[in-house]
Structure 1
């Protein structure tokens, strides 16, 4: 079978959509190496996180004109190369598919991660909302199958795009194998020395933006005798956190890290006492999975998708209820037995997000088409 992928995020994105795209292609190539995987990339790659195997082929625009107008190539002209490669199924990995697939009898799948721009429009510009809506709705209507990364996302696709539920398949995300590898004592010490952070800390991972709600954790930590490490790219929202830290003299208690390698990120997960993720809304919440594989207990938000990712043995709080968050943190810091129970049961729960299970589900969808 020949499978084509919209690979823009594979080669140009280091966060959520890029990680999903790389991991999915990697595990399909691992478990089904006899298939051929065409990775349609609109411009020379900037991210080198996917090791190409013999069954993977990166495909760039094949003329000077389309190299110059690569964004347009990705939406339309790429179809000519998809046909030339004899692709059986094309998979849009981030809510988009090129136009003309159905007309040319090429089966298609699209993964939709979330519709946050619909639920929380104030977080997006007017034009971004319009563009996202147009692209996502077209893909959902015209793809032969829609993959939602959670039951929450499936509900949103049905609500906002009026898509037949039978057309939508829920297939959860996994995470990179680096988070399943135990880091050595030496590696952990080298990390602490390199970034000059304390041995004991709470952890939050994710872009530092309003929706992720890191300020609530900072407010909670103000009342608890333990530092906080926040890992993620800074946005304008960081200024609010910085102002609160300065106003409350927390400069020596809050640590910000950015640009970590995947190995370093897995190390900081394993070093953390507790992982806290009080996001307001996500399509899935991959950092929760990374934490559970790292055998770190999780505190996260009680509504939406989070219980799907965190399972029955994580702790759930109102993301804006600072008192509730403090109580959850203190429970884990004071009770070694509770913490160990959450770690062990959380690790058992997260096995359903292992590579082979996900690969089988995706391959079955391709075969059905």
Structure 2
């Protein structure tokens, strides 16, 4: 089978959608090597360099297509799909090319969330218009919809009136490396490389309002005299860091929060954590906190649990669905509930050990082989 993918984000996105794309493509290529995977990429990129022989990158060839690569990706690519004998096309993030149904090629679209529909005030008006148009077209015209959580499925049904029978909920998996305990020497090397403290709480995510870093810092303020552990923040500034830093200055907490990207940049290094170092970084943490107001899935929860790290997350959105019975759940508007989680995990060794065990068990629901198998079953169901 020749399977085509919209690979823009696999090659050019270093946040959640890019990681999702790269993990899925690699898993399928490894576990189902009898198929060939064509990655339709609008322009050359360096974020993805797969080495499997059954993965083939496809770039626009015609001069006009290279000049207008966005148009090639969103419409003209259908000619290449037909010419190359693609049996199935997977839009990995919210969209499929216009005119794809007319080619007769069956398609799957992954819908991660419908945030532009639900929270339009969080986006620029022009972006809301574009996102809505792409989402509606994809949900209306793809052969099948792959929702990454029951929460997202319910939103698709409610907002677009989509037939529930057209939607498959398939949970993602983190990269397999997160599910392997790192040796102590690797963890110590990562600690030294990033100048990490002996003990720390961890937050992973772009610094934007909905990720709720401000309330995490307020929770730190509550425990400042009880727990001498700083917070390490891994993630780029999405326009909210200044507000967080103003609070930290006002509260006298500047020395209790380490913005790792900022620290690396000041040291003259690349301001991001290397992918191969992330599992060890998670596993060094006393706990990972992720009390987001809304998410499509919440991958850091699984990345932490898979490595045996206790998790504090929110009672909102899909987060309880993903965390199962393994996390400390807190109202995202309650820094004190988050602080209570910090206190319990820090002071009660037996409780923290039980959380680690439940987290490891919960992570088994998201094993890579289960994920890839479910996606392949979906492909086969429409051929």
The bucket for the TM-score relative to the shorter chain is: over 0.9
3-state SS, counterpart of residue 340 of structure 2 = helix
Structure 1 residues not aligned, in runs of 5+ = none
Match of 1:235 in 2: 238
| Paired position in structure 2 for 1:90 | 89
Name the residue aligned to 1:215: 214
Q: For 1:223-262, what per-residue CA distance to the aligned partner results, in whole angstroms no more than 9, with x for missing partners?
A: 2222111100112210011101111121211001131111
Measure how far apart 1:189 and its partner are. Answer: 2.1
- How many pairs were matched up? 368
Q: Equivalent residue for 1:256?
A: 259
Out of 326, 331, 337, the residue aligned to residue 324 of structure 1 is: 337
Contact 1:42 1:73 in 2 (8 A): yes
State the 4+ residue runs in structure 1 displaced beyond 6 angstroms.
none
The match for 2:268 is: none
Kept in 2: contact 1:205–1:287 (CA 8 A): yes
**What is the CA–CA distance in structure 2 between the aligned matches of 1:135 and 1:290, rounded to whole Å?**
30
Partner Cα distance (1:192, 1:246) in 2:
26
Q: Tell whether 2:351 aligns with 1:348.
A: no
1:282 pairs with one of 283, 291, 295: 295
Match for residue 265 of structure 2?
none
Q: 1:195 offset after TM fit, Å?
A: 2.3
Task: Give the structure 2 partner of residue 80 of structure 1.
Answer: 79
TM-score by length of 1: 0.98
Name the SS of the counterpart of 1:222 in structure 2: helix
Matched residue, 1:149: 148
2:378 corresponds in structure 1 to 365
The Cα shift of 1:205 comes to 0.2
Cα-Cα RMSD: 1.1
Looking at structure 2, the residues matched to 149 and 29 of structure 1 have their Cα atoms a distance apart, in angstroms, of: 20
Partner of 1:47: 47
Measure, in 2, the Cα distance between the counterparts of 1:181 and 1:356: 14
Q: Paired residue for 1:35?
A: 35
C-alpha contact 1:6 1:40 (8 A) present in aligned 2: yes
- Write out per-residue CA displacement over residues 321-341 of structure 1, whole angstroms, 9 at most, x where no aligned residue: 011111111011111111111
| Secondary structure class of the residue paired with 2:139 | helix
- Is the Cα–Cα contact under 8 Å of residues 222 and 336 in structure 2 kept in the other structure? no
Cα pair 1:178 1:262 within 8 Å, conserved: no
1:311 aligns with 2:324: yes
Contact 1:112 1:147 in 2 (8 A): yes
Q: Secondary structure at the match of 1:95?
A: coil
Question: Residue 305 of structure 2 contacts residue 359 of structure 2 at CA under 8 Å; is this kept in 1?
Answer: yes
Instruction: Specify the alignment match of 1:160 in structure 2.
Output: 159
Q: Following the alignment from structure 1 to structure 2, what is the Cα–Cα distance between the partners of residues 294 and 2?
A: 35
Equivalent residue for 1:268? 281
**CA–CA separation in structure 2 for the residues paired with 1:85 and 1:125:** 37
TM-score (norm 2): 0.94
> Tell me, what secondary structure is at the counterpart of 1:38?
strand
1:169 equivalent in alignment to 2:168: yes
CA apart distance, 1:191: 2.2
Aligned mates of 1:101, 1:235 — CA distance in 2: 34
Partners of 1:301 and 1:90 in 2: CA distance: 35
How far off is 1:14 after superposition?
Answer: 1.1
Q: Deviations over 1:59-116 (max 9, x none)?
A: 0001111111000000111111111110111000000100122111110110000011
